Amino acid sequence: MSDSMRAIVMREPGDADVLEMQEVERPAPGDGDLLVRVASSGVNRADLLQREGRYPAPAGYSEQVLGLEYAGTVEAVGHGVDRFAVGDAVMGITGGGGYAEFVVESASTAVAAPANLDLVQVGAVPEVFMTAFDAAFVQEGLLKDETLLVHAVGSGVGTAALQLGARAGVTVIGTSRTPAKLERAAELGLTHGVVAEPGWPELIMKLTGGRGVDVILDLVGGPYLAGNQRVLAQRGRHIVVGVPGGLKAEIDLRALMGRRGSIRGTVLRARPVEEKAALARAFETQVLPGFDDGALQPVIDTVFPAAKASNAHRYMESNRNFGKILLEWG
Digit-coded pLDDT (tens) for 90-99: 999 999 999 9
- 207 to each of 171, 181, 191, 289, how far by Cα in Å? 11, 19, 10, 32
Gap between the Cα atoms of 163 and 188, Å rounded: 6
CB-based contacts of 294, cutoff 8 Å, min separation 6 = none
- Comparing CA positions, the residue from 69, 27, 87, 43 lying closest to residue 306 is 43
For 17, which DSSP code? G
In the chain, CATH 3.40.50.720 covers: 128-265
Q: Which residue numbers in the chain have pLDDT < 50?
A: none
In the chain, CATH 3.90.180.10 covers: 4-125+271-328
- 243 to each of 85, 124, 173, 217, 221, how far by Cα in Å? 38, 21, 19, 12, 4
Gap between the Cα atoms of 5 and 20, Å rounded: 13
Beta-strand pair 232-240/262-265: parallel
Tell me the CATH class for 128-265.
Answer: alpha beta
Where does the chain show beta strands of DSSP type E? 4-10, 19-25, 33-43, 69-77, 89-93, 102-106, 111-112, 147-150, 171-176, 192-195, 213-218, 232-240, 262-265, 300-305, 324-328
Classify 140 as helix, strand or coil.
coil
Answer yes or no: are the C-beta atoms of 3 and 25 closer than 8 Å. yes
pLDDT at residue number 176: 97
Gap between the Cα atoms of 52 and 114, Å rounded: 33
Answer yes or no: are the C-beta atoms of 240 and 263 closer than 8 Å. yes
Q: Does domain 4-125+271-328 have CATH number 3.90.180.10?
A: yes
Answer yes or no: are the C-beta atoms of 283 and 130 closer than 8 Å. yes
- Amino acid (one-letter) located at 287: V
pLDDT at residue number 149: 98
